[in-house]
Structure 1
Amino acid sequence: MSAPVLVSLAQVLLVLLGAPLLVGAMRRLRARMEGRTGGGVLQPWRDLLKLLRKAPLHPQGTGAAFRFAPLLGVACSGVAAAAIPLLSTRTGLGAGADLIAVVALLTLATAALALAGLDTATAFGGMGASREMTITALAEPAVLTAVCALAAKVGSTNLPAIVAATLSHGARPASPANLLAAVALAVVVLAETGRLPVDNPSTHLELTMVHEAMVLEYSGPDLAMVELGAAMRLTVLLGLWSALFAPWGITTTADPARLLLGLAAFAGKTLLLGCLIAAGEVFMAKVRLFRVPELLAGSFLLAVLAVSASFFLA
């Protein structure tokens, strides 16, 4: 087995095992800042193992969309983790590690979960699916526009090529185009992962929830896959953001020593970003659903400015 393939497999395993730990660390930090004890960092893994031991239950009348959506979510996040240069630019997918393809994979997982919510034929499932796809439809233009800003200087949407070009030009992360694109994609990451101010991951209020409304009917191993897929999605998006705008520590070779350094850098950057999100949520309120388009429109405007800056500014 070639070294790039091993790198991709290592990245998938890292995201699979580390994603619940990231969620646990974020919950722990938020609980401490709110004056609560909270669960331990390992609590998400304990919850997943408990759910895996339960018997699966499927609502009457549901079909393949409901049953396969959780597995598809985990699979899409796993393939994205294999494509994104989290540890090294020498990934096993090579030319297939395209930024647009990664965005399409994550959107496919969102669409599958929305179909599962509709498949239950419940009011909450349909409401959550409608809200989720509305947010996704508003976020996608900002993502694709920001991709154009990043690819303009490189002449390619290939992720390893973009990261390698950024590493070879030390001042590029501080360029106006990159800074504008970084803010635009940061807003999209919050929206796509259901974090505040777009959605509150720790509430079950019927009139405000988005992600939770789609998964209310899941239980047992299916719910474990849903939770694992959501944690992996968060980790992958934070890893993607750090790879594009803070690629320090990512190696351009498959040397084991450099890969270990990349592993430490990835863990540190992802944990730092996760803790910043968790700390910000303590002081942030959820915006009304009708204000979310304004937030994402601002993200799209920043992405457009990033494209303009990539052509007219150094």
Structure 2
Amino acid sequence: MNGSWSWWGAVGVLLQMVVVVVAAPYLVGLMRQVRARLEGRVGGGVGQPWRDLRKLLRKEAISPEGSSLVFVAAPAVALSASLVVVAVAPFIVTGSPLDAVADLYAVVSLMLLGSVAFALAGLDTGSAFGGMGSSRTMMVAALAEPTLLLTGFALAVRVGSSNLGQLVDRSQQAPGEVFSPAVLLAAAALAIVVVAEAGRLPVDNPTTHLELTMIHEATILEYAGRDLAVVELASSIRLTILLGLWVNLFLPWGIPGAATPVALALGALVFLLKVGLAAAALSAAEVFMAKWRLFRVPELLAGSFLFGVLAVSTSFFLA
């Protein structure tokens, strides 16, 4: 892996950001369309989220009475944190000038920053729904973050580093390790966490506005206009990041190590294909799921934590 400065490396970072930002709403549209087709509906089309964002950007942003700067700044904080992750993570190419700061634990912290920002915004509104959603959001984060740390540690043991680029390179150099017990357990643990952090079924239902089942939607219920557009864009980028990290850590094939024009084009196509297939599979699975009761969510996340513990133990025993 070559993380030194180069012009093509800088182009790779910019291309990665453009690809993820542009593709993120389409990814949400793809998931909605897959679910609609499987449920016998026509659906709004893959490009509907972008049309919704364009409509929202034309509307005035309105803040609830009594809210402070916390409510106004939360969408920008969440979007900025997601964009930083997009810039440093090895989605399209591992040989990036920013590889030195692409640490798994730093990425987890930045993802948590977005959750905390929306939780504080929900509390800042002073509404009952906002407070309820904030408490539920932090409950899910408190249960999911330890699993993320354990999973990262299990993957870092075999490499000796928590750098994302090095983790992906190691998987490409030793493809047999992807099917080792430790990596498979880590993949199962991280898959559950991705579902929880992305607010998908059975943890949360992103299509509902029923107050008794809302988690993420309750924290952003008061947003409107341009602010809501930023919130929706940040949420779609977050979903793309989570799916992208999973497929690149456990299905790393097709990610070039050097930033060249051909490699960047190939890396972008492979990334979009893998993330699109993962999103379609997740959406198809949701058709056959119902949202779990809130008090059963800790059981699911406790199971992911157990997978993480087993992954760490197995990585040491079989090292």
Fold shared by both chains (TM-score > 0.5): yes
TM superposition shift of 1:251: 0.5
Pair 1:297 & 2:302 matched = yes
**1:259 aligned partner:** 264
CA–CA separation in structure 1 for the residues paired with 2:7 and 2:106? 23
**1:96 aligned partner:** 101
Pair 1:188 & 2:211 matched = no
Task: Provide the secondary structure at the position in 1 that maps to 2:175.
Answer: coil
Query: 1:3 aligned to 4, 8, 23, which one?
Result: 8
CA–CA separation in structure 1 for the residues paired with 2:152 and 2:99? 18
Structure 1 gaps, min length 5? none
**2:124 aligned partner:** 119
Contact 1:146 1:185 in 2 (8 A): yes
TM superposition shift of 1:113: 0.5
- Residues 167-178 of structure 1 aligned to structure 2 (within 5 Å): 167-178=172-183
Cα offsets for 1:20-72 (capped at 9, x unmatched): 00000110110010011110111000000000000111111111110011111
The residue type paired with residue 214 of structure 1 is T
How many residues end up aligned between the 2 structures?
A: 314
Contact 1:89 1:253 in 2 (8 A): yes
CA–CA separation in structure 2 for the residues paired with 1:2 and 1:107? 32
CA–CA separation in structure 2 for the residues paired with 1:2 and 1:117? 42
Query: 1:68 aligned to 69, 73, 76, which one?
Result: 73
TM superposition shift of 1:302: 0.3
Pair 1:151 & 2:156 matched = yes
TM superposition shift of 1:2: 2.8
TM superposition shift of 1:92: 2.7
Contact 2:121 2:219 in 1 (8 A): yes
CA–CA separation in structure 2 for the residues paired with 1:304 and 1:122? 38
**2:284 aligned partner:** 279
Task: Provide the secondary structure at the position in 2 that maps to 1:86.
Answer: coil
The residue type paired with residue 288 of structure 2 is F
Cα offsets for 1:102-158 (capped at 9, x unmatched): 000000010001000000000000000000000000001100000000000000001
Structure 2 gaps, min length 5? 1-5
- Residues 39-54 of structure 1 aligned to structure 2 (within 5 Å): 39-54=44-59
CA–CA separation in structure 2 for the residues paired with 1:223 and 1:69? 11
**1:86 aligned partner:** 91
RMSD value, Cα: 0.9
Query: 1:223 aligned to 205, 222, 228, which one?
Result: 228
Cα offsets for 1:182-224 (capped at 9, x unmatched): 0100000000010000000111111111011011100000000
- Structure 1 runs (4+) greater than 6 angstroms displaced: none
Q: Normalising by the residue count of structure 1, what TM-score does the alignment of the two structures yield?
A: 0.98
Cα offsets for 1:282-313 (capped at 9, x unmatched): 00011110011110000000011111111112
The residue type paired with residue 99 of structure 1 is L
Pair 1:142 & 2:147 matched = yes
Q: Normalising by the residue count of structure 2, what TM-score does the alignment of the two structures yield?
A: 0.97
The residue type paired with residue 246 of structure 1 is L
CA–CA separation in structure 2 for the residues paired with 1:217 and 1:92? 39
TM superposition shift of 1:236: 0.6
Query: 1:232 aligned to 237, 257, 278, which one?
Result: 237
Contact 2:91 2:244 in 1 (8 A): yes
Contact 2:134 2:215 in 1 (8 A): yes
Query: 1:164 aligned to 169, 176, 182, which one?
Result: 169
CA–CA separation in structure 2 for the residues paired with 1:186 and 1:83? 21
CA–CA separation in structure 2 for the residues paired with 1:310 and 1:7? 33
TM superposition shift of 1:93: 1.4
